[in-house]
Amino acid sequence: MGFFELVTGKRGPSGFGSASTAEQVTEGVDASSLTAIVTGGASGIGLETARVLALRGAHIIIAARNLEAASEAKQLILKDNHTARIDVLKLNLSSIKSVRSFVNSFNALDLPLSLLINNAGVMFCPFQLSEDGIEMHFATNHLGHFLLTNLLLEKMKTTAKTTGVEGRIVNLSSLAHAGTYKGGIRFDKINDPDSYSTINAYGQSKLANLLHANELSRRLQEEGVSITVNSVHPGLIMTPLMRHNPLLMKAFKMFTFCMWKNVPQGAATTSYVALHPKLKGVTGKYYADCNETEPSKDAGDENLAKKLWDFSNKLIDGASEI
């Protein structure tokens, strides 16, 4: 989708565009047989995604760091949708221990799993390391979701096999994936504070989301598993994600005011890729404004994706030994 389509809301080949909302792109979809995990589902586009998926009948697990906020989100959804099935579980994606604990808690519910929406994230943080000693953007946006997805894969494979219903994994990336460091992923300088850039660190983590989705898609296709993996750019939305650098975001919004979306529009592409029947069997793609689009050259680098996969596993193994 080009600048004209973004600003005007002109619809693309999918029949939807930048002005489409999550409710519009999922109209008529019956998701009552599906269970979905939405990370970061307590606020912003994560909450709207959870609300709309619940509206279509899916059983929603809101995975959030703040249980109080997640419980409030649950009540907000139930207020307008009394029959919604919503559970809340604690998840801090910057903590490997917390990710493992979340998966144990989810497995204890003995539920199937068809949809995994890797939505949560941090943006433009000042330099800091996670409790596992990993730069916060990379730890939260990529590594936590990488581990979460891997730990839930067997559950998703079993669900797809026993129900005959295709599983779908959606990674929220960003147009900012093109604004990473030189070389794409700084494998040898992930935790380097001296050359740290908030903008590049965020872009690197969003590139990692795309590379992760593409490599996982490739692996699942080789296995012949009925699970698709795609990435999305939700658009520019003013949400709590912007809290670390409000002055920068206000200035940025001033010069890009015509490109910003509201929250229902921001959740549209995620909801479309998660539920729309047109995307059955479609995997390893990148979507913006509910239409397939081309990512950066780095995002399509298969060797970079494989290297990131191995690097991520080594980081997790190393942190688990501490």
Which residues have a catalytic role annotated? 196
CA dist 60 → 71, 115, 302 (Å): 13, 9, 33
Note the Cα 241 to chain centre separation in Å.
Answer: 13
Quote the tokens at residue 123.
Answer: 């943006």
CA dist 292 → 270, 274, 310 (Å): 12, 14, 28
308: region left, alpha or beta (phi > 0 left; psi from -120 to 50 alpha): alpha
Would strands 227-233 and 85-90 be described as parallel, antiparallel, or unpaired?
unpaired
Q: What is the 3-state secondary structure (H, E, C) of 90-116?
A: ECCCCCHHHHHHHHHHHHHCCCCCCEE
How far, in Å, CA of 118 to CA of 267, rounded?
13
Residues contacting 67, CB < 8 A, separation 6+? 88, 90
* Residue from 237, 291, 289, 292 nearest 262 by CA: 237
How far, in Å, CA of 137 to CA of 127, rounded?
9
Provide the strand spans (E) within 91-234. 115-118, 167-172, 227-233
β-sheet bridge partners, residue 227: 167
Contact 288/42 with Cβ under 8 angstroms? no
